């Protein structure tokens, strides 16, 4: 059996981050298991793929500038492929369907993205 060493950085194709809100700012956060109540600001994550690190600041800037997207956003998950594709999930503590343009339209324009919307329906405190 042969064993191959991983690259020292950019070896993870997926990553998930909490979103921490401080006044008008928000940022990606991770937590130390020894101190799980104190967020660690994570602007870059060297273990994650180059594409994740490239998308992180672009996405957080777009969300920060769009009130409907930033309100009650609590987590972002990234999944990338070896062929340069990415799936980004924005997780909220609210319903997103509101009058007017869909909330993701500004991201579509900014990133020139085609968005596949996956809807997970479950009983929640938001259900009537």
Spell out the domain ranges in the chain: 14-111
The pLDDT tens digits of the residues spanning 26-51 come to 999 999 999 999 999 999 999 999 99
Alpha carbon of residue 54 to chain centroid = 12
Q: Is the pLDDT of residue 101 over 70?
A: no
18 touches 32 (CB < 8 A)? no
Binned at pLDDT 50, 70 and 90, residue 128 comes out as very low
CA–CA gap between residue 64 and residue 115 (Å, rounded): 19
Instruction: Name the class of domain 14-111.
Output: mainly beta
**Most trustworthy range by pLDDT among 76-80, 102-106, 122-126:** 76-80
Tokens of 83: 């062929």
CA–CA gap between residue 126 and residue 8 (Å, rounded): 44
The backbone torsions φ and ψ at residue 20, rounded to the nearest 5 degrees and listed phi first, read -105, 130
The pLDDT tens digits of the residues spanning 50-66 come to 999 999 999 999 889 88
Tokens of 69: 């997207």
Q: Give the burial string for 90-121 (b: 16+ CB within 10 Å, else e).
A: beeeeeeeeeeeebbebbeeeeeeeeeeeeee
Mean pLDDT of all residues belonging to the chain: 81
**Most trustworthy range by pLDDT among 42-46, 88-92, 95-99:** 42-46
């Amino acid at each position: 059996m042969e064993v191959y060493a991983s690259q020292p950085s950019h070896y993870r194709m997926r990553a998930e981050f909490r979103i921490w809100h401080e006044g008008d700012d928000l940022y990606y956060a991770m937590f130390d298991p020894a101190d799980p109540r104190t967020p660690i600001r994570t602007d870059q994550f060297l273990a994650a793929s180059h594409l994740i690190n490239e998308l992180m600041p672009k996405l957080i800037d777009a969300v920060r500038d769009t009130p409907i997207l930033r309100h009650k956003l609590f987590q972002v998950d990234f999944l990338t492929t070896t062929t340069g594709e990415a799936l980004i999930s924005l997780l909220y503590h609210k319903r997103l369907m509101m009058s007017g343009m869909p909330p993701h339209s500004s991201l579509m324009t900014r990133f020139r993205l085609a968005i596949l919307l996956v809807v997970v329906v479950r009983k929640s405190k938001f259900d009537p």
